[in-house]
Structure 1
Amino acid sequence: MNPVPLRCFLFCFALQTVRWHIELQPWASPTPSLNYEALRFLKYISTSQISCEHMNLNSLRGYSETAKKPWSICLDERFSLIHRIRSKQCRLYSLGLGNDDNQFEISMANSGCEVHRFDPSIKSAHVQEGRHLWYHRLSIDWRDPNPAIAAHKLHSNTKKLGTVLNEFGHQKIDVLKADVESAEWKILENLILEDVVEQIGQLVFEVHIHWPGFEVSGNDSAVVRYWYSLLRELELKDFRLFHTYKDLSKPQMFLKKEAFNASSCYTLSWVNTRWK
């Protein structure tokens, strides 16, 4: 028999190591139940896993419905972010839409961080504002468009985060902020499956739970189990939840129902504990 060519072996090995699906956690109860799944999920996102003494919570002071929402990052000395801010070596990626508040990005840029905001609604492909803030007419998605498919050409400014990192020549992101209006679940899944999440120091993102989210399928209990499993994957990657903000200004809905005393929107802040 002829030996298997090395190129084929490496290709086959690579195929074996690619993950196509996340590991679903066991059901919260012996029989699948929305009640048990919802209670487990809501308790999980409402319980800090690690303490953080120094956070940028200024926007919470005197909070009202018109106040800016908090985007909390951990500035404790034991993690790298505060040191990288002081040395002007930090990098922030912000994913959002044009009507978002950008005070957090401006504040980080004023601190000397290199800030890249990805917003498909801006008019120019790339805009620089000041020394440290760039706007890019790009939408971050969980898949790259296929140029061979005519419909995908309309979305040529849509790319996976891993693709953007490679194109920009960036190895690491100190903070990833995301408010992507229900695309967060599939984008997060892509970051986990492709190990891009390991290149991120802190992850601050909104989750929207009034409906399953884009391309999230299954009945209600299966959807909540999937959400929970995704966040557990973050924990398995050594991310720890250090702050949760429940937005009381948004409809108090959980999968299209007023139930479980839940808001339709939470902001979750995670720190990668491998980044010391």
Structure 2
Amino acid sequence: MGRERLTWGLLLRWGILLTAVCVCFHVYLETDWRGAPAPLALGHPTQSNQNWGQQSRSKQFSAEAEEQDKSIKRRISYVRRVKKGSPVGEREVTEDSSPPCCPPLHPQRKTPRWHINLEPWASESRSLEDEAKRFLNYITTPQVSCSSLAGDNAAHGAWAVCLDPKYSLTHRIQSKHCRVYSFGLGSDDRSLEHSLARSGCEVHCFDPSLKQPHLQQAEMWLHRLSVDWRDPNPAIVAQRRYANTKKLVTILRDFGHREVDVLKADMESAEWKILENLVLERVLDSVGQLLLELHLHWAGFEVGGDDPSVVRYWFSLLKELERAKFHLFHVHNDPAKPHLFLHKNILNASSAYTLSWVNMEWKP
């Protein structure tokens, strides 16, 4: 009996000890499992990852919404209404198109051209005789009549202006707003300039052979200057005190003038390139009447090509005048001049003709 009690006592103690050990081990395992982070499972984000994903999706949604808003703004339709009665009426710009652009800053400014429009050949043969016949017929046939000519020796003189009341020169003289530019040399006849000055016109005579830059003589102004088809080289101007030649548009700007009622020029064979410059730079809009002496005994300064091409170029220049609304009203042929046409005697043509044109739309 004593041994049996001792044995059961030992077993009970061992059982209690094992139970305590198991409880401690279980508590240890339970505490360690709760403190350690759980392993990540594929496809199942944690709480922190879920928060980050929600923020990312929120930002992406905001960006998409902003881009969509911009797209909607770009797709707004624009409707521009014009004044009632306009032939354009009402115009709608379709979706996905940009709004109408702003108008140019200078809608009335005209850009210069680079070359004149050459007229078709007078004939398929492109012969000098055919070109000369068309050209001479053109310059000797007035396009409009003038009932009142004024100039040196009236209707029989070389230089003449038209004082017909249907043109504006007479009204400009009466209102004391007449301005005259005369280009030539000192030996030229200036009876027309004196006559216009006495009538009340502001007359400027340009002569590069003068000794003084500017001189007032009687009722006229004299300037040591002449017109050219190009402005002088700045390097040459820097070496000289005065520049003797300038383009007409430059002279107008330097003198502060916007228009000239009468432009008279005897440029000794430089008239073709000067006339070309007036056409290309659209200076003719500032001229009321154009008086020009044409020299036909040779091609002229810086005019190249064979003889038929030269005459075609001359004719094309005069047609440019006509397109600029200049109509011929007076032609003078000096019988004392030699009969030479490009160094030849063709159709008994004179070597020089003085022509006068009126700007049909001159209303300064």
TM superposition score normalised by structure 2 = 0.67
Deviates more, 1:96-105 or 1:158-167: 96-105
Q: How far apart, CA to CA, are the structure 2 residues paired with 1:233 and 1:207?
A: 16
Q: Which residue of 2 aligns with 1:3?
A: none
User: Is it true that 1:219 corresponds to 2:313 in the alignment?
Assistant: no
Q: Which residue of 1 aligns with 2:251?
A: 164
Q: Is the 8 A contact 1:91 1:113 kept in 2?
A: yes
Q: Which residue of 2 aligns with 1:101?
A: 189
- 1:201 is aligned, of 288, 291, 312, to 288
Q: How far apart, CA to CA, are the structure 1 residues paired with 2:141 and 2:230?
A: 31
Q: Which residue of 2 aligns with 1:144?
A: 231
Written as runs of structure 1 = structure 2, the 5 A alignment for 1:57-76 is 59=153, 69-76=157-164
User: Is it true that 1:35 corresponds to 2:35 in the alignment?
Assistant: no
Write the deviation string for residues 71-93 of structure 1: whole angstroms up to 9, x where unpaired. Answer: 11111111100111122210000
Q: How far apart, CA to CA, are the structure 1 residues paired with 2:269 and 2:245?
A: 16
Return closer, same or farther for 1:99/1:152 CA change in 2, 3 Å cut-off: farther
Q: How far apart, CA to CA, are the structure 1 residues paired with 2:152 and 2:190?
A: 15
Q: Is the 8 A contact 2:160 2:192 kept in 1?
A: no
Q: Is the 8 A contact 2:154 2:160 kept in 1?
A: no
One-letter identity of the residue aligned with 2:149:
M
- 2:147 is aligned, of 53, 59, 62, to 53
User: Is it true that 1:238 corresponds to 2:296 in the alignment?
Assistant: no
CA shift, 1:232, in A, is 0.2
Q: Taking CA–CA contacts closer than 8 Å with sequence separation of 6 or more, which of the two structures ends up with the larger relative contact order? A: 1
Q: What secondary structure, in the 3-state scheme, does the structure 1 residue paired with 2:136 have?
A: helix
One-letter identity of the residue aligned with 2:185:
L
User: Is it true that 1:269 corresponds to 2:363 in the alignment?
Assistant: no
Q: How far apart, CA to CA, are the structure 2 residues paired with 1:220 and 1:175?
A: 32
Q: What secondary structure, in the 3-state scheme, does the structure 1 residue paired with 2:350 have?
A: coil
CA RMSD of aligned residues (A): 2.2
One-letter identity of the residue aligned with 1:219:
D
One-letter identity of the residue aligned with 1:167:
D
- 1:44 is aligned, of 138, 143, 148, to 138
One-letter identity of the residue aligned with 2:211:
K
One-letter identity of the residue aligned with 1:120:
P
CA shift, 1:158, in A, is 1.1
Unaligned runs of 5+ in 1: 1-5, 64-68
One-letter identity of the residue aligned with 1:97:
L
CA shift, 1:138, in A, is 0.3
Q: Which residue of 1 aligns with 2:58?
A: none
Q: What secondary structure, in the 3-state scheme, does the structure 2 residue paired with 1:73 have?
A: strand
Q: How far apart, CA to CA, are the structure 1 residues paired with 2:345 and 2:230?
A: 33
One-letter identity of the residue aligned with 1:85:
I
Q: Which residue of 1 aligns with 2:200?
A: 112
CA shift, 1:18, in A, is 2.8
Q: How far apart, CA to CA, are the structure 2 residues paired with 1:157 and 1:178?
A: 16
CA shift, 1:139, in A, is 1.5
CA shift, 1:98, in A, is 1.6
Q: What secondary structure, in the 3-state scheme, does the structure 2 residue paired with 1:88 have?
A: coil
Q: What secondary structure, in the 3-state scheme, does the structure 2 residue paired with 1:40 have?
A: helix
Return closer, same or farther for 1:237/1:127 CA change in 2, 3 Å cut-off: same
Q: How far apart, CA to CA, are the structure 2 residues paired with 1:113 and 1:21?
A: 34
Q: Which residue of 1 aligns with 2:347?
A: 260
Return closer, same or farther for 1:144/1:26 CA change in 2, 3 Å cut-off: same
- 2:278 is aligned, of 191, 209, 215, to 191
Return closer, same or farther for 1:114/1:60 CA change in 2, 3 Å cut-off: closer
Q: What secondary structure, in the 3-state scheme, does the structure 2 residue paired with 1:56 have?
A: strand
One-letter identity of the residue aligned with 2:128:
L
One-letter identity of the residue aligned with 2:291:
V
Q: How far apart, CA to CA, are the structure 2 residues paired with 1:118 and 1:18?
A: 25
Unaligned runs of 5+ in 2: 1-100
Q: Sequence identity of aligned pairs in percent?
A: 58
One-letter identity of the residue aligned with 2:137:
K
Write the deviation string for residues 108-157 of structure 1: whole angstroms up to 9, x where unpaired. Answer: 11111000011001110000112x41000002100001213x49956822
**Moved >3 Å (runs of 4+):** 150-155
Q: How far apart, CA to CA, are the structure 2 residues paired with 1:72 and 1:152?
A: 39
CA shift, 1:31, in A, is 2.5
Q: How far apart, CA to CA, are the structure 2 residues paired with 1:25 and 1:47?
A: 18
Deviates more, 1:214-223 or 1:49-58: 49-58
